[in-house]
Each structure stands twice: as structure tokens, then as C-alpha cells.
Amino acid sequence: MAQYDVIIIGSGPGGYVCAIRCAQLGLKTAVVEGRETLGGTCLNVGCIPSKALLHASHQLHEAEHNFAKMGLKGKAPSVDWKQMLEYKTDVIGQNTKGIEFLFKKNKVDWLKGWGSIPAAGQVKVGDEVHEAKHIIIASGSESANVPGAEVEIDEKVIVTSTGALELSKIPSSMVVVGGGVIGLELGSVYARLGAEVTVIEYLDGITPGQDAEVAKQFQKLLTKQGLKFITGAAVSKVEVKGGKAHIDYALRKDDSTHEMKADICLVATGRKPFTEGLGLDALGVQMTKRGQIAVDKHYKTNVDGIYAIGDVTEGPMLAHKAEDEGMAIAEILAGQAGHVNYNVIPGVIYTHPEVASVGLTEDQLKAEGRAYKVGKFSFMGNGRAKANFAADGFVKMLADKETDRILGCHVIGPMAGDLIHEVCVAMEFGAAAEDLARTCHAHPTYSEAMREAALACGDGPIHS
């Protein structure tokens, strides 16, 4: 029976980052992973492969729509779907092998197989039982089905994000159920590749929880790119007939019923914690009403020696949130003061343009009754964006009306997922919009739009 200071169940971003940090802090560490490769959903069937397809399909879009404008003449490239999937697989392999290398470098043991917790202090993998002072559950999440609907997912015609990443061919039509991040990213991929994509969303607008102004502009831009939207619609049934997906839905405004059919139906209605097989019921681990593992501010469950981080706990299901929690719990177990600032966790949608946000939205500030000011700047006023055919969108900064402290920022535009981080750093240090506005930004860069939005919180931007 092997003995460890820490055993982590799951090798996704939360699990593997936690393991490396534990090892760096001198804790004897092992990770349980049943997949043939490390990295969890994110590296194998989530964040990384989807970004590979988004990148490839965006290059096609540029070749078809913008190359000729720049004097790059010639026949538009054709799509070799098999080769594109091989490229995606190669990207996955490079990343997962990288994690394996980091485990070896940091002397983290990989316990290959699916784990369960027969008792506090014990983790069973296959026929072997390993002992640990601390057990951290980082088993992630899985795709959720459409609430209250009859849907048989076969990962061939009716697919989750996993199946959508490995379709046998590019469909001529696709219906996406759910107007959130996953559905819009993958819907964008297939729309660029030539599919007719329709998004059906239960709410009256896409990207629930996003700044309302950004969401409205985002839907307009995606519509311009060819995606179609049916909002305020409840899907009741999805089934395969004659090799095609048939989708039944009702419009909430008048209860009228409709049917659509498509080559592929992507179910992208969110994710749910994956805790099956861990034995949590028998251990008496307390769960929330939404099926998450209940933890205290130090990630501890109600059972001594058992902790949980990432998608299995409350909060946004984001890889970087899990990573930060993995770092924090490692430091706590090593006797340090691990901490995560949940007010400064950015969110990104990797379409084109990208959408990124951090902090509070206008609706949240209004609900709080807080006095605030808005600084906006359009990418139309940014020289680099105009030169790169990327001038759609804007930066919207929110600051406290009295103190000028930055409360949130919402960006739709080029490289938004990278630009948002200067605001994250500013917020982490409690900066005012004026602090950002007075910081020199290189010219010409997209980042100047962030400075201009900060200037707009004061006397006004220069280029607008």
C-alpha cells in the first residue's frame, strides 16, 4: 500500500496544476487519472482542441474574405477535414505529453485508472488501495443534457461538444441547442467551414450573464457571419429520423410549436459536476442542491482529509478558476495562506471577434444600487484594428463614480481574451481607471483601446 501526503483525483487543469504545486512545496503527490492521457476534459476534448479548430477555421475565413483586400490573390484554400482533425489531434498530443513531462520533472506519480474513495485517507485505483493524508477531488464536469427534454445523445448525429470535435464529415446543417460559450464557439467553427448553423436558446438573448450591451452586439456580429438565432425557445425533444436530427421546440412568447431538422444537433446546454463512482454517498460527503460538492473557504468538505476544487464545486466552470483553486489548496496544505480572488476571474469566448469580461456588469451594479460610471471606446477608433479588418466591437469599462476604482470591464473585439488581463492585474491591485489611463501603451496596438476606455471614465478618450 503506497502512502502519499496528497492524492488528487483528476488530471484536468485543476488537478494537474494542484499536483505540480504540491510537489514544488515538498509534498509527496500522486494523481489518479483513468484516461489514457493527462489533462482532463480541457486538454483532450475541450478547451485545447476547440481552439485548434477555431484557429484553423478562422484562417479559412481570412483567406476567403480578407486576403484579396490586402492584395493576396489566388485560389481560396479548400478544406481537408481529415487533415484538420489530424492537426487538432497533434495539438492535443503536444499538450498532454507536456503534462506527463511536468509530472516526471516534479516527481508526481500517475496512478493510472479510475479512482474511488472507500474511506477517508484511502483511494482505490483498480485493485490497489493507496493511503494519503489529504485527498483532493478534481474530477471536473461532463456535458449536461437539455433540461426537461427528451434527448438521446449518440455522439454521431446528436452530439455533445465531445462528439462535435470529431465529426466524420463537415455537416451541411447544424442546430445548436444553447447559446452559451461552447455552442457559439463550435457553431462558429462549422459556420466558417460551410455549415448552415442555427442556435436555439431558451432565454431571450445569447451568453446568459454577459454584459447585456456586449451580448446584443455579439449576436449581431455572429448573425452577420451567417449564424441564425432562435431565442426564447424551449426545446422539448431531439431525435434521429432517417439519419437526421429532428428538433422540436416551442416559442415561449406564444407557446407555438415548431420542428427543425439538421444533419447534426449539438447539445450545448452547459455542464454538470462529474462525481460518479467516487463513493461520496457512502462517505457522507455533503452536496449542494445543484449536485456540487459543498466545501468551506479552504476547499474542505465535511469529511476530514477530503477536499474538492474546480468544476465539482460552486462557481464558474472555468479551467483557470480550477487552476487557481489547485494552487491555493496546495499552499494551504503546505501551511501557507492560499487564496483565490473570485472577484477577478476573467471569462472569454474565443469566437471572432473574441468576447472577454471580468468583474461586475452594469446590471449587477444597478441591482446593488452602486453609483458607477462607464467608459466606452470603439475599435473603429483603433488604428491597428482597422488595418487588420478587426474594427468590430468595443471596450466598456466600469468604475466607481466616487473613487474611480475599476469594478469591471467587458470587451468584444480582437484579442479580447488577452487584452482583458491588464484590467485583471489593475483590479487585483485596486487600481483606478485613471491609473490605467495614465499608463503608456505601445502604438499601434489593440491595447490602446483599453487605455482609451479608461480615459473615457475621466475627461474622455483621445481618438473618439
Domain extent at residue 368: 347-456
**Mean pLDDT (whole number) for 161-182:** 98
Residue 191 inside a domain? The answer is yes
Kindly tell me the sign of the dihedral angle through the C-alpha atoms of 58, 59, 64, 69. positive
Pick from 268, 267, 264: nearest CA to 182: 268
Beta strands (DSSP E) in 138-242 are 141-143, 150-151, 158-159, 173-177, 196-201, 228-231, 233-241
Rounded CA separation 33/97 (Å): 14
Report the chain's terminal Cα–Cα distance, integer Å: 68
Instruction: Say yes or no: 83 and 118 in one domain.
Output: yes
**Mean pLDDT (whole number) for 404-414:** 98
Q: Among 333, 356, 385, give the residue marking a domain's end.
A: 333
Phi, psi of 308 (to 5 degrees): -150, 145
Q: Total domain count for the chain?
A: 3
Rounded CA separation 89/109 (Å): 25
Alpha helices, DSSP H, located in 116-180:
161-164
CB 355 within 8 A of CB 348: yes
Q: Quote the cell numbers at residue 163.
A: 462528439
Residue 426 pLDDT greater than 80, yes or no: yes
Residue 338 inside a domain? The answer is no
Instruction: Say yes or no: 119 and 173 in one domain.
Output: no
Residue 463 inside a domain? The answer is no
Residue 61 inside a domain? The answer is yes
CB 321 within 8 A of CB 311: no
CB 278 within 8 A of CB 188: no
Is the peptide bond preceding residue 353 cis, with omega within 30 degrees of 0?
yes
- Burial level of 335, CB count in 10 A (0-12/13-18/19+)? exposed
Instruction: Say yes or no: 12 and 137 in one domain.
Output: yes
Average pLDDT over the chain, rounded to an integer: 97
- The DSSP secondary-structure symbol of 166 reads T
CA dihedral of 301, 303, 304, 305, whole degrees rounded to 10: -70
Instruction: Say yes or no: 9 and 133 in one domain.
Output: yes
Segment holding 221, helix H or strand E: helix 212-224
Instruction: Say yes or no: 15 and 127 in one domain.
Output: yes
Residue 202 inside a domain? The answer is yes
How far, in Å, are 138, 303, 304 from residue 284 at the CA level?
Answer: 18, 7, 11
Phi, psi of 316 (to 5 degrees): -65, 140
Give CA 228 to chain center in angstroms.
22
Identify the pLDDT of residue 1: 60
Beta bridge partners of 307: 136, 300
Instruction: Say yes or no: 224 and 310 in one domain.
Output: no
Beta bridge partners of 258: 249
Instruction: Say yes or no: 328 and 236 in one domain.
Output: no
Q: Among 223, 238, 269, give the residue marking a domain's end.
A: 269
Rounded CA separation 94/246 (Å): 38
Instruction: Say yes or no: 246 and 297 in one domain.
Output: no
- The tens digit of pLDDT for each residue in 25-57 reads 999 999 999 999 999 999 999 999 999 999 999
Instruction: Say yes or no: 15 and 134 in one domain.
Output: yes
Tell which phi-psi region holds residue 284, choosing left (phi > 0), alpha (psi between -120 and 50) or beta: left
For 366, residues 6+ apart whose C-beta sits below 8 A from its C-beta are none
Residue 341 inside a domain? The answer is no
Alpha helices, DSSP H, located in 231-358:
280-283, 319-333
User: Helices 81-105 and 47-65, interaxial angle, to 10°?
Assistant: 140
Residue 410 pLDDT greater than 70, yes or no: yes
pTM of the model: 0.96
CB 155 within 8 A of CB 162: yes
Instruction: Say yes or no: 323 and 355 in one domain.
Output: no
Residue 224's pLDDT band (boundaries 50, 70, 90)? very high
- The tens digit of pLDDT for each residue in 114-150 reads 999 999 999 999 999 999 999 999 999 999 999 999 9
Instruction: Say yes or no: 408 and 440 in one domain.
Output: yes
Instruction: Say yes or no: 281 and 262 in one domain.
Output: no
Q: Report the CATH number at residue 393.
A: 3.30.390.30
Residue 260 inside a domain? The answer is yes
CB 14 within 8 A of CB 326: yes
Catalytic residue numbers, as ranges = 443
Identify the pLDDT of residue 6: 98
Burial 66-97 (b: 16+ CB within 10 A, else e): eeeeeeeeeeeeeeeeeebbebbeebbeebbe
Identify the pLDDT of residue 76: 86
Residue 464 inside a domain? The answer is no
Q: Among 269, 288, 308, give the residue marking a domain's end.
A: 269
Q: Report the CATH number at residue 179.
A: 3.50.50.60
**Mean pLDDT (whole number) for 318-331:** 98
Percent of the chain with pLDDT over 70: 100
CB 232 within 8 A of CB 202: yes
